Amino acid sequence: MERAKSQPRDSKAGVDGMNGLPTPVRVLVFAMVAAAAGGVAVRFGEVSRWDGRDVLGLIVLTLATSIAEQFPLEIRHRTENLYLALTDSMWAAGLVLARPGVLTMAVAVGVYFGLLLRKVAPHKIAFNLGQYILSITVAEVVFSALAGSATMAFKLLVAVPVAMLAYAVVSAGLVALVISQAERKSLWEVLLPPLAVNALHYAGNIALGILGAMAWQVSPPGVLLVGFPLALFYAAYRIMVRNLREGDRLRELIVENASDGIFVAAPDCSIVSWNPAMERITGQSADEVIGKNWRSILASSGSAESPRGGTAPCQAPGDAWFAPIVRKDGTEGWILCSSSTINGRDSKVKATVIVVHDISAEREAEQLKADFVATISHELRTPLTPLKGFLSSLIHGTIDDESDARHEYYRIMLRQANRLERLVTDLLEVSKIESSSALVTSPIDLCAPVVEQIRTFSEEHPARSISLRAPDSQVFVEADRSRVGLVVSNLLANALKYSPPDKRVQVTIAVEEDRATLSVRDEGPGIPLSEQQRIFDRFYQIEDHLTRPNGGVGLGLYICRRFVEGMHGRLWVDSRPGHGSTFSFSLPMAQVRSLTVSS
């Protein structure tokens, strides 16, 4: 979850890619490397005075350094990981046991090969060489100044600790200086957080080095005795780290598999982690958002931007809040967020955890429900108004009472009554549809309910032209007669409603192998491809429910599809804006032969 940051005791993670660093940092690193190279060059003068013991010391120290570099200890420090090596302890011992030149050379060669084996980048190797050679040179100078002709006890108990303290100050200071320059932080900001653990590490290493040097003084093989408790401590430490990691992994698994979005933000608002549910909700992957300001990511629409006037742009607007979002694909949604902060020991906010619940579907359903109530009230009232008007005019004799005129009034009233009936039927059917399973079907002649519906609509709309093209013989399908009538009625009502009054509506029945297909074609405005699936959803209407001129409640096609599918058929639309629409459904043919026998 947390990005591991390591600094400043071991610089390996501190300097990433020289090219991206500011010029002062690069100058500093080059100066360090140059100074270190000078330090090594000076020691070359001593080589001619070395004896066999010095060469052996060089080999042993170099090998030990290279090997120790292969096993850095990972130490967890709150949310950070520090990588530490045991090299310092060998160098502490080396101060007492070896000539300064031997120690410097061993540090240079040992660190170089040790890091090379670990495949560390060349610029980092150069930086570490500079850091260690400079630090050990300072330690050697301090040690020489203090030790002189002092007793071994003084050397071990005073000179080595003081010299290694100087080493630690220079080494940690150099790394902190480079990191503070690179990250534009103050030296203290870099140096302080890991200071305690670094100090312990240095103290432990120095003590270990002194013990090793003492053991060597008594008898060189005695050094192995120092290694024994060390190996045991190391094993215990590894077990502890493994257990901690398993705990972390478990927590990560829970977060990764959570159905709600969870992300962590740093105090400066930058996103630190982003779980897969957040990717689903926003359409943005972790790689795209890590490091960016979470408020700008969630408020792409601008609406959740700084709700308190921008004074605290990073703070979550409260414990829980609603916000609109614009997903990566441009679609809009709603989220319910809640946040909690993680505080450090100093009570300062270290991170904010934000849990995001996608409530787009709930919001959409609520909106649909609200629209539905408004639409239904409007749709029930619309046919009632002319019905009441004509009835009261007829009763009071306030309109033309000629038989032709009266016939026209009755036709208008019938049309409105039919419209009301269709609406009430749709509402009743939709309430039944959710609970009922497959429909009960029997062989019926498809042409019969179709002819019946065309007759009804032609009577209602005598000015409209509705044509039928069907096979000469009967078309037996396996279906529910009244439901087929309802489907045809809805498709015809839509075709008439959505096409201009002077345009024809064409109904076709065709038989293909084991299925019969009925199509209702109109020459209306057509339906955009993007809407062709959604029009079959419950309550879905392309136009706004209050401004649309054609009425309807968005249930017709939903009911039609459910009915057709309940009869093992299929309902679909072929349409292009400006070229009309054809709604078709197919139903399985009935077994005509068995029917003939039984009839």
Residues in touch with ligand ADP (CB under 6 A): 490, 494-495, 498, 522, 524-525, 527, 535, 540-543, 552-558, 581
| Smallest distance from ligand ADP to CB 545, Å | 8
| Smallest distance from ligand ADP to CB 382, Å | 12
Cis preceding linkage at 8, omega within 30: yes
Those residues whose C-beta lies under 8 Å from the C-beta of residue 110, and which sit 6 or more positions away, are 61, 62, 63, 64, 65, 66, 69, 87
Cβ atoms within 10 Å, residue 495: 26
Residue nearest to ligand ADP (CB): 552
Residue with smaller CB distance to ligand ADP, 355 or 496:
496
Token duo for residue 308: 């308190």
Closest alpha carbon to 554 in 434, 459, 426, 450? 426
| Smallest distance from ligand ADP to CB 468, Å | 17
Residue with smaller CB distance to ligand ADP, 317 or 485:
485
Residue with smaller CB distance to ligand ADP, 5 or 461:
461
What are the distances in angstroms from CA 307 to CA 282, 303, 310, 316, 359?
Answer: 20, 8, 7, 10, 20
Closest alpha carbon to 213 in 139, 168, 164, 156? 156
| Smallest distance from ligand ADP to CB 570, Å | 17
| Smallest distance from ligand ADP to CB 255, Å | 42
Residue with smaller CB distance to ligand ADP, 256 or 364:
364
Residue with smaller CB distance to ligand ADP, 333 or 556:
556
Residue with smaller CB distance to ligand ADP, 126 or 527:
527
Length of the chain: 599
Those residues whose C-beta lies under 8 Å from the C-beta of residue 381, and which sit 6 or more positions away, are none
Residue with smaller CB distance to ligand ADP, 207 or 376:
376
Residue with smaller CB distance to ligand ADP, 9 or 419:
419
| Smallest distance from ligand ADP to CB 575, Å | 7
| Smallest distance from ligand ADP to CB 490, Å | 6
| Smallest distance from ligand ADP to CB 597, Å | 40
Closest alpha carbon to 348 in 267, 294, 269? 267
Tell how strand 466-469 and strand 505-512 pair up. Answer: parallel
**Would you say 316 and 339 are in contact if contact means Cβ atoms under 8 Å apart?**
yes
Rg (CA), the chain: 42
The backbone torsions φ and ψ at residue 443, rounded to the nearest 5 degrees and listed phi first, read -65, 125
Residue with smaller CB distance to ligand ADP, 259 or 431:
431
Secondary structure in 3-state letters for 21-59: CCHHHHHHHHHHHHHHHHHHHHHHCCHHHCCHHHHHHHH
**Would you say 26 and 182 are in contact if contact means Cβ atoms under 8 Å apart?**
no
How far is 152 from 156, CA to CA, in rounded Å?
A: 6
| Smallest distance from ligand ADP to CB 555, Å | 6
* DSSP category for residue 440: P
Residue with smaller CB distance to ligand ADP, 88 or 522:
522
The backbone torsions φ and ψ at residue 385, rounded to the nearest 5 degrees and listed phi first, read -60, -55
| Smallest distance from ligand ADP to CB 370, Å | 16
Tell the residue number behind the tokens 């019905």, with chain if given: 387
Residue with smaller CB distance to ligand ADP, 100 or 556:
556
**Would you say 86 and 38 are in contact if contact means Cβ atoms under 8 Å apart?**
no
* DSSP category for residue 307: T
| Smallest distance from ligand ADP to CB 491, Å | 8
Token duo for residue 360: 């787009």
Cβ atoms within 10 Å, residue 513: 6
| Smallest distance from ligand ADP to CB 499, Å | 7
Classified as helix, coil or strand, 332 is strand
Residue with smaller CB distance to ligand ADP, 99 or 561:
561
Residue with smaller CB distance to ligand ADP, 449 or 552:
552
Helical residues (DSSP H) of 397-529, grouped into ranges:
403-433, 447-460, 481-498
Those residues whose C-beta lies under 8 Å from the C-beta of residue 184, and which sit 6 or more positions away, are none
| Smallest distance from ligand ADP to CB 294, Å | 39
